[in-house]
Structure 1
Amino acid sequence: MPETVILTLSGSLRREATNRKLLLEAVRLLGDVSHVEADLDLPLYDGDVESRDGVPAAVQQLADQIAAADAVLISTPEYNKGPSGVLKNALDWISRTDGRPWADKPVALMSAAAGRTGGEQAQMVLRAFMVPFQPRVIAGPPVHLAGSGGQFDDAGRLTSDQYLTTLSALMQNLQTEIQR
């Protein structure tokens, strides 16, 4: 049986972002999978640029990675009660590519934020952003990592059993959806 390919999209571009760490923990919990980390450092969407130059190669590569993956994990910080502009920009660009890379794709959403709600509102908005793409978004359990800066050890591992248990359950539900 071919190896399961998991694509991760972090709504933060920082190398040490807690959303990136959360995604890496989720992949670790999935076990023996092939992991591809998406690059969301894309130009800002501009219809004039698209008309003149077409879809940038980096955007098409991202759309192709989504289409090729068995499942996608997305984690977003919360900026002003919503997902990051980086993530929204990537979703806007992907919507301009040919085909439907998200269609029927298992997708697990999560969030990590400094605040006490762990990006809950950003994740709710992100769920709404995903509706037009028609993926199979996993219902839960929801993972909203609060106070995210203090939730990882020096090796990047989650230190809270509560968050590990919830993230494990979400990954188990994702595995079930992948096999469906």
Structure 2
Amino acid sequence: MKSVIYALGMALALCCCSTKEENTQSSASSEAKSDTGVNHLYSFFDFCSDDPGCGFSGFSDKESFGRWSCTDTATIELMVAPKAEITVKLDVNRVMCPENVALEMNVEVNGEKVSHYSVFGNSSVYVNVPKENIGADGSARLMFIFENAAQPGKYNPENKDPRKLGFALSGVTVYGYCLKN
């Protein structure tokens, strides 16, 4: 039932007339308000740009396809409406694993584990974040804990890149809704 309400809310967001938008060169955000008592949220952060528009750590400098996570953990810091239900879509461009092996990772939000994923290259990963995991100020600190991040030389001895890589991230999209008080 919750997913049906969420889907209806997202559809309603596309139809609402009253919107607030913020755009920078590397990010875009909008908030759609309706008479139904529900605010709909949308934000995009471009990890192919110099400044994706959100806080992050554990990622390397940008490359043409995005940014590699370069340690056993990486974080993305987002701000959303307090008590919002959000889904964070990760645009994973590449993973540092052989073709038939998945990158294994746990995802924590504000210190609480919310999910485990097995990720193959060039895919979208959807992280559902319950409102209970959003900070009172609207903060959502996503930590990715990689179980099998590796140096590229592990799979290709000619590659001397010293970084311990997990996934290459090209973009992050946040979808959500919250009830008006």
What TM-score do you get using the length of structure 2 for normalisation?
A: 0.26
Q: Per residue, is there more strand in 1 or in 2?
A: 2
Question: Highest CA radius of gyration, 1 or 2?
Answer: 2
Higher helix share: 1
Higher relative contact order (CA 8 A, sep 6+): 2
